[in-house]
Structure formats: structure tokens, C-alpha cells
Structure 1
Amino acid sequence: MATLSIRIDLGPDNRLGPGKVQLLEMIAEHGSISAAGRALGMSYRRAWMLVEAINTGFGQPVVEAQIGGRSGGGARLSAFGIEVVAQYRGIERAAAAAAAPFLARLAAGIAEG
């Protein structure tokens, strides 16, 4: 089955694609950048660098630090970050629906025609 992968170029150094969005979703799920990185098999350094790139690229926090208590701090998506993920997933769904007949033909070896 053919699938579509969406990368959005928002500016020269601001790209959003499936990897960054999945990292954001894992941060939301796990409440920490390090746990999200582990869940995705990436180093904390790599996860942190991606988060910094996302925050810098949008010019506002997508991921926010949480002040620590007994168990230490963590991270969460800002309201803007939640919206970024929702918009990306919406674009992904719309593009997949629009591309479905073309992907099916490609997967079938363009048998029709």
C-alpha cells in the first residue's frame, strides 16, 4: 500500500514533518522530552534540538517546560503546540484523501490507462 508523507516548509529553516509531529505527540503523551525521545529511539540531545528548532521556527513556544516537583520537571505542549499538531494532522488527512486514487494507481503499477 502506498502512503503519503507530508513535510511542510514554513520558511528557510522552519520545516514540519511526520518526525517532528510524532515527537510532539510523544511529549504530550509522556510529559517529558527525554521520555518522548526514548519512546522514539532517539537521544535526549536529538529530541531537545528538534524541540528547540520547532520553538525557534514558530517564534513562540510549541513545547513548554514544566516546573518540577518531587518527581522533577517535564515538558508539555503549549496551547499553540496542540494546535500545530492538530493542523498538521488535518492537512495530512486531507492530503491523503485527495491523493488516495493516485496512490492506488501507483501502487497497482499504473495498470489502468
Structure 2
Amino acid sequence: MTKTTPPAPRDLLELGGSVWLKSGGETLGGAARIALLAAIRDTGSITAAAKAVGMSYKAAWDAIDTMNNLAGEPLVASATGGRGGGGTKLTASALRIIDTYQAVEREHRKFLRRVGEAIEGFEDDWRLIGRLGLRTSARNQLAGKVTKIRRGAVNDEIELGLPGGQTIVAVVTHESTETLGLTEGSDAFALIKASWVMLMEDAPAKLSARNQLRGTVASVTRGAVNAEVTLSLDDATTVTAIITNQSVDTLGLAPGQKAVAVVKASSVIIGVND
């Protein structure tokens, strides 16, 4: 008769987590962007803050644009004298996010048990911090709410409302709609590569492209062949396009000029936070 040895008792599963991830000594996730916000708060200068956290000036501004987009509201107030001017300040929302993140950082080994009671509004702020830590190669990351879902024979058309009132439409498969749990009123974000964004003058035109986002040119950064053009849709949302220098000249694009960002619905990727 074979004797059966009972399995060794298992340790109880426990929930655990950390505030940031590290790979080769580099901080990943949300820590770098929160550190940038804290440095802006402490120095009152984007230039000084970028230097303090080891970012280039351009990388700092790219991060600020992305954070404003993902937050759905301004986190960094406009600086007097232009993008590099002095007197840069954080909004109340940004200050609260920093406080929330740092509190979780101090309490990270206990927060699963205590943080719900320790921090007022933690659930909403933590979801926002998760969006700020999103890492993707897509230059444009726009947060919003699903305002409409149109079912088709094969694909679904997802309409995402942005904070400033404009909308973005994406075409996804039925399976993607179900997998992402998309419903009207749910939070989601749109990912759009800068090379997929076309620009045109702000004038009446009939186009097959579903998305036509109106805004004001915030910056034009020229390279050897192409230029990076950032369009402000509102106080909190920007869209960046990569177009040729010749196109910049042809359209006469310059800061302050009205323009339209054109994006095909098939070029928009929809995502959600877990």
C-alpha cells in the first residue's frame, strides 16, 4: 500500500506592493514625474526643476504636457514670460497629488490596510497617479470618458469626451470593447502617435478623417527634416504632431496661430487603467 504524504502547508497569500519600480537603478513608473512636480514646487522654475531631477528641459516640458493631458486638468500653471519664464506654479490638484504620493511612499508597507482611512480622496488621486506613471511610445496620451459606443457589424466606434469639450473617436473590435470593459461613462484614454497626426489650417473643410481637433499652436520645434508641432486644445490638453519643415512653412505654423489636428479613427488606440 502506497503511503500518501500530505502536502506541506502553504504560507497564506498576502497583498503587497511598492510605490515605484526600479530597473538597473533607474526609477520607473510614476516616481520620476512626481519628482519633477515636487521640484517645480520647490524651485518655482521648470529649468531648475528639470536640472534637479536630471531631465533635459525638453523632456521636462514633454512630461508636463503628458501629465496635463492624463490629468484632464492643468497641473502646472503657465509661467510669466513664456515656457522658460520664472514664477512657475503648481495647481492645487498637483500639490494634492504630490502630498498623496509621498504619503503612500512613507506608508507603502501599510497602505493596503490603512491608506483608505489615512488619506482623504485617496482612491481618486491614486487612479490619477497611475495614469501619470503610464509609459508608452505614443507621444499623445489623452484621458477622458467614454461618451458613446456605436456597435457595427464587425467593429465598434468608441467616442471619448475630452475635458475641454472636444471628442476623439476610435474604431476598435468588439473583442477589444469587451476586454477593456468599455461602457458609456467609463474612464479611458486615447493613445496617438505623433506621426499619425496631420495638421491643417483652421478653415472649413470636408475630410474623411473622423477626428478634427481645433486648437492653438503652442510651440514649433524644428529638426533637420521634420518639426514637432504642439497644439493646445484647451488649458489642460495638448496634441503633438510630427510634420515636415516644408509643411510648417506652407501652413505658416507659428505659436499663437489657430490650427486643426486631424487623426483617422483607425489610428487611435483606446486603453484603460487596471
- Asked if Structure 1 and Structure 2 have the same fold, meaning a TM-score greater than 0.5 normalized by the shorter chain, the answer is yes
Letter in 2 for 1:95: H
- Where has structure 1 moved over 3 Å in runs of 4 or more? 96-99
Q: In structure 2, how many angstroms separate the alpha carbons of the residues matched to 1:66 and 1:48?
A: 12
Give a deviation string over 1:41-63, Cα, whole Å, max 9, x none: 21001111111111110000111
Q: Give, in whole Å, the separation in 2 of the partners of 1:17 and 1:50.
A: 11
1:23-76 per-position Cα deviation (integer Å, ceiling 9, x unaligned) = 0010011111111111122100111111111111000011112324xxx43421
Aligned 8 A contact 1:21 1:85 in 2? yes
Match of 2:38 among 12, 22, 25: 25
**CA separation in 2, counterparts of 1:98 and 1:79?**
23
In the alignment, is the contact (CA less than 8 A) between 1:66 and 1:73 conserved in 2?
A: yes
1:34 and 1:44 in contact (8 A); partners too: yes
CA distance in structure 1 between the aligned counterparts of 2:96 and 2:32, rounded to whole angstroms: 17
Structure 2: which 5+ runs fail to align? 1-16, 21-28, 113-274
Identity %: 35
- TM-score scaled by length of structure 2: 0.29
Alpha-carbon displacement from aligned partner over 1:76-112 (angstroms, at most 9, x marks no partner): 111111001111112222223459xxxxxxxxxxxxx
Deviation for aligned residue 1:6: 1.5
Report the counterpart of residue 67 of structure 2 in structure 1. 54
Residue number among 59, 65, 76 corresponding to 1:63 in the alignment = 76
Deviates more, 1:32-41 or 1:89-98: 89-98
Q: Which residue of 1 aligns with 2:55?
A: 42
Q: State which of 93, 97, 100 in structure 2 corresponds to 1:87.
A: 100
Which has the higher Rg, Structure 1 or Structure 2?
2
| Matched residue type, 1:40 | V
Counterpart CA distance in 2 for 1:46 and 1:86 is 23
- Tell me the SS of whatever aligns to 2:77: strand
The structure with the greater share of residues assigned to helix is 1
Contact 2:18 2:108 in 1 (8 A): no
* 1:28 to 1:98, Cα distance in 2 relative to 1, 3 A: closer
CA contact (8 A) 1:33 1:74 kept: no
Local SS of the residue matching 1:84: helix
> In structure 2, what is the Cα distance between the partners aligned to 1:56 and 1:32?
21
> What is the total number of aligned residue pairs between the two structures?
86
Instruction: Report the aligned-residue RMSD.
Output: 2.4
